[in-house]
Amino acid sequence: MPGPHKSRPEIEIPLPDPSVLEEILKQVGFDPIFRYEKYRTEYTTHPNKGTVMLDETPIGNFLEVEGSGRWIDHTARLLGFTRGDYITGSYGYLYQNYCRDRGITPTNMVFGRKRS
């Protein structure tokens, strides 16, 4: 049974030219299926313990708390949240639900562009 915390491996590398990786992925048979935008602000009090991130997205604002399960629970309580408030779904999943609830056809989760 899944617990209240989400855990998954992440690989982060510097990527000076994203178009090169896009071409590599295309050449080995990958196609983009979903694109999303967010503005992220990171906060920490103890860099070795965990990080709190405020994500502003086209479908709302979300707080992501990364660290050990114990640190996440403690930090969430300090911020006034309970385990009942936790969301472990991906942004793709959240966007699909957002669109379904509003009768919108899902495309990409991007901010609207103002025309000049």
pLDDT, tens digit, for every residue of 14-70? 999 999 999 999 999 999 999 999 999 999 987 788 999 999 999 999 999 999 999
User: 2 pLDDT band (50/70/90 cuts)?
Assistant: low
Q: Mapping DSSP to helix (H, G, I), strand (E, B) and coil, where does residue 74 land?
A: helix
AA identity, residue 46:
H
pTM: 0.81
Q: For residue 33, is it within any domain?
A: no
Q: For residue 12, is it within any domain?
A: no
Count of domains forming the chain: 1
> Does the pLDDT of residue 80 top 60, yes or no?
yes
The rounded Cα 31 to chain-centroid distance in angstroms is 20
Domain that holds residue 78: 41-110
Q: For residue 89, is it within any domain?
A: yes
Q: For residue 6, is it within any domain?
A: no
Q: What is the pLDDT of residue 3?
A: 75
Q: For residue 35, is it within any domain?
A: no
Q: What is the pLDDT of residue 63?
A: 96
The per-residue b/e assignment along 90-109, b for 16 or more CB within 10 angstroms, e otherwise, is ebeebbeebeeeeeeeeeeb
- Separation between Cα atoms, residue 84 and residue 81, nearest integer Å: 8
The answer to whether the CB of 58 falls within 8 A of the CB of 110 is yes
Helix (H) or strand (E) holding 25: helix 18-27
Q: For residue 90, is it within any domain?
A: yes
Q: For residue 17, is it within any domain?
A: no
Q: For residue 9, is it within any domain?
A: no
